[in-house]
Structure 1
Amino acid sequence: MAGYVAAAGFQPTPWTLLGRLRSCADDERRGLLDELALAYWPPIYWFCRRAGSNHQDAEELAQSFFADKIVRQRLFERADPERGRLRTLVRASLKRHVIDHWRSTSVAERNGAVGGTHDGPLAGAIDRSADQLDAAFDREWAAAKLDSAIRDAERYFIARELDRHWRAFEMRYLQPLNTGAAPPPLQRVAETCGFASAADAAAAVQVVRKRVHTLLRESVAVSVPPAEVDDEYEHLRASLRLARSGFR
């Protein structure tokens, strides 16, 4: 990826970070925008793909959204925690951006400014499939948050020299999640990871699972008004069941 996206990933997007955008210098603003771009690139890119764009067009459309809405129009700086959730603000702005893009493309083609016929969807088609696109955005948003929580949890346990806790979690949950295979018996996990018993291995896995869920909830809490944390967390879990049905 080029431009405002340096790498794949999903970092927390606290309202305090958004507040800093309103008063920081240009150099710091670019760094903060990079953090937010990392957070929202996966769902934005896949929204564009599911709206009908191929890989290259989706990347270009996502980049234009960052350049126009986020950088030039200062979407994040204008965000207000008292007026709703950051996820829905980004999603609604993205939907308008995609519709405007296809409308301008269609007009240009009718006027002969663009050769050939563009194979993307018309704005009306996007309107008709709005619920499906919203759900797709939310699934990618939830999956990206889970990926980030898993990476943060791995760093947490390794830094505390609890590597075998993490290896047990990988064996019991992550590898089956990624491969579709059945989870290995806890006794095998215990023997492989150096636990005295299957019960000890199960307890270690549970500790990691709780940490992952704590990180997920924290990532929600920093991006919605306090009164909406519970609802947003339940929405994340529902979206996550669709995106990663093996994770419970």
Structure 2
Amino acid sequence: MIVATSRMSLRPASTVRASFPVTAWTQVVTAREGDEVASKAALEELCKGYWPAIYTYLRALGCDREEALDETQEFMTHFIQGGGLHNVSPERGRLRSYLRQSLRNHLTTVRRDAARQKRGGGKTFVSLDDVEVFDVPSEPDAADQWFDRRWAWALVKRSMDRLEARYQRRNRMAVFSTLKEGLICPELLKPYAEIGLTLQMTENQVKLEVHRARRRFAEELRAEVAATLAPESDADEELRYLMSVLSFE
């Protein structure tokens, strides 16, 4: 059970220094309006970041593995080529809610028209090597929660990747690698004295490094969440909700 991020200090927007991530709504706009190279890169990032939530949702709604895999491909193709990408905008609210409802509508249409021949338009968005990692039991009543949990995981991963890039730029990967697991789950953080021996730091220095890493991770995570919301939305409220669904059993 993931509980670490729920213990973070959710700092007010005015104090967050993390740069606005090029994700979510930013990527949607780039995919729709950018030049060919930028548009392709944005589409690839969108698919990479959010197909696990889509696949998980379909599995929880009762699709078997193959159907969920097919419909994930089909939905992403439809979203990109069939108009969904051009209809969505930040003003419509949370990207999470928009995609989840669009997916439910898509599955309803699919089951009403089971004789369709075209599947996925020849494009592959899902890595078969990753599929089993995201399998979940069929739980239609909890499908929304499964989707939101996988969505939250995607944002946590993006935030951690951005934090890692910070440490790489400063040639401090040894510090990041030692603290990473403890940032996600505090119970996995080794004693400060042990970390100090590994990094050749005093316990006070380690304590300061942990404090800074947690603060920066929280900043990155809040920025990622804000990037999926409509303008003027309450990012802290959304973040608290997503951290709560990460904690369900």
By the TM > 0.5 criterion, same fold? yes
Q: Pick from 122, 128, 140: which aligns with 1:129?
A: 140
Decide which of 33, 36, 40 is 1:30's aligned counterpart: 40
Structure 2 residue runs of 5 or longer lacking an equivalent are 1-20, 117-137
Is 2:195 the counterpart of 1:186?
no
Deviates more, 1:57-66 or 1:96-105: 96-105
Q: 1:167 to 1:15 in 2, by over 3 A?
A: closer
Q: Which has the higher contact order (CA 8 A, sep 6+)?
A: 2
Counterpart for residue 207 of structure 2: 202
* Corresponding residue for residue 124 of structure 2: none
* TM-score, normalised via structure 1 length: 0.72
**Cα RMSD between the aligned structures?**
2.7
Q: Does 1:91 align with 2:100?
A: yes
Once the two structures are TM-superposed, the CA of residue 101 in structure 1 deviates from its matched residue by: 2.0
Q: Matches of 2:200 and 2:77 in 1, distance apart?
A: 50
Question: C-alpha displacement at 1:202, in angstroms?
Answer: 2.1
* CA-CA distance at 1:28 after TM superposition: 4.6
SS of match in other structure, 2:43: helix
Q: How far is the alpha carbon of 1:77 from its aligned partner?
A: 2.1
Corresponding letter in the other structure for 1:59: L
Larger Rg: 1
Counterpart of 1:46, as a letter, is: T
Contact 1:171 1:189 in 2 (8 A): no
Structure 1 gaps of 5+ residues are 1-10, 109-125, 244-248
Aligned length: 207
Supply the distance in 2 between the matched residues of 1:171 and 1:34 (Cα, whole angstroms). Answer: 27
Aligned to 1:122: none
The equivalent of 2:74 in structure 1 is 64
* Distance of aligned partners of 1:163 and 1:194 in 2 relative to their CA distance in 1, 3 Å threshold: farther
Please report how far the alpha carbon of residue 145 of structure 1 lies from its aligned counterpart in structure 2 after TM superposition: 1.1
1:200 is displaced (CA, Å) by 1.9
Q: Which residue of 1 is the match for residue 248 of structure 2?
A: 242
Pairing 1:127-206 to 2, within 5 Å after superposition:
129=140, 132-170=142-180, 172-173=182-183, 183-197=189-203, 199-206=204-211
Match of residue 222, structure 1, among 222, 227, 246:
227
1:242 and 1:221 mapped to 2: Cα distance? 23
CA displacement, residues 17-44 of structure 1 (integer Å, 9 cap, x when unaligned): 3333443455653332222111211101
Structure 1 residue 182: Cα displacement:
5.1
Identity of aligned residues (%): 25
